[in-house]
Amino acid sequence: MKSEGTQSWTTGAVRESERFDYWREVVCETFVELDPRPLHQSRFYGEVEASRVGDFGIAQIAASAQKVVRSRREISRANNPCYFLNIQLEGSGLTAQGGRESVLVPSDMVLLDATRPFEMTFNDRFSQMSLTISDSVIGQLPPAAQDDLAGLFINRNLPEARLLKSYGSLMRDQGDVEDHMFADLMTKQLAGIFHHAVNRRRGLTLKQADHWGQKLLTTIKAAVRRDLGNAGHTPARTADKVGVSVRLLHQAFARNGETFGRWLLAERLDTARGVLADSHNAHQSIAEVAYALGFADQSHFGRAFKARFCQTPKQFRKAAFNA
């Protein structure tokens, strides 16, 4: 493998009235179909230097303030299956893709999936290095990781982030690489660092998500237990009570291998078992216990109780009192 040569574009030699149109052509040719939009009326300037080494494209961009959009319209024109690892060099930027938003400062980076819509906003002059990563490199990641890459933020403080920036800069500065063995070594090392960075970053993300999910699950269960006798408990009403979406409620239970409905039934049955076993509650009929715990139908309560404890409520109470 060897570098395919460095190409350069600049708006400096273009008439001011034509600069942004020229810039639009440049970014679409260098990357994928994009819709850049200037943010200020002041004089626009932009330059790109791009080359390719093996499975990686390397480009450095410096430009004035702008917003860059890749919508479904641009994707339909040319659906290029690749990813961009954008590394902030100067200035700051905001990226959004797949529900993830990231603010980039120098040495931060974000991974963008070219097959899905995304936006990038730069409110002032900025500079980025962008690595175009082929499907063959992405395909070496675990399947679960491949489904979770869009908009993935990689903090500058990760050791792998510093290595990615250093290797990207080295490959950019090499220009034409005549020694194909050296080029092959560089791309393999960069791919390895990239895989390690993604796996570590996803590990941190999943750990944080799991911690938050456990806290949410505890909050949901506590809210239901405080009002266990309410027959109107549903996922939608409970989610509204704790201030989350129904989707997040279901996700919180799923992480624990549960569903809301099965947990609620088990919680009511376990509570009923405790009530029935306590002789202080002997004055309460089985029907009263069932209704007090949110069961709308005594026969349903009886069947569910027997399925869980292998005894009818009456049999269980009698055995508990005689123990």
The gap from C-alpha 19 to its chain's centroid, in whole angstroms, comes to 36
Nearest one of 277, 311, 273 to 293, comparing CA atoms? 273
Measured over the CA atoms of residue 297, residue 300, residue 305 and residue 308, the dihedral's sign is: negative
Residues contacting residue 227 through CB under 8 Å, at least 6 positions apart: 233
The SS3 of residue 154 is: strand
Helix crossing, 260-277 with 246-255: angle to 10°? 70
Total count of residues recorded for the chain: 323
Each of the 323 residues of the chain gets a pLDDT tens digit; together they read 334 568 899 999 899 889 999 999 999 999 999 999 999 877 899 999 998 887 788 999 999 999 999 999 999 988 788 999 999 999 999 999 988 999 999 999 999 999 999 999 999 999 999 999 988 888 888 766 777 889 999 999 988 899 999 988 888 877 555 567 777 787 888 888 888 888 888 776 666 666 777 888 999 999 999 999 999 999 999 988 888 778 778 878 987 889 999 999 999 999 999 999 998 999 999 999 999 999 988 999 999 999 999 999 999 999 988 86
* Predicted local confidence at residue 71, as pLDDT: 94
Residue 63 burial by Cβ neighbours in a 10 Å radius (0-12, 13-18, 19+): buried
Pairing of strands 100-104, 46-53: unpaired
CATH superfamily name and code, 227-322:
Homeodomain-like (1.10.10.60)
CATH of domain 7-206: 2.60.120.280
Structure-token pair, residue 267: 């919680």
Strand partners of residue 86 = 110, 130
Domain boundaries, the chain: 7-206, 227-322
d(CA 83, CA 117): 12
> Model-level pTM greater than 0.75?
no
Structure-token pair, residue 185: 């070594």
* Predicted local confidence at residue 2, as pLDDT: 36
119-130 exposure pattern, b = at least 16 Cβ within 10 A, e = fewer: bbbbeeebbbbb
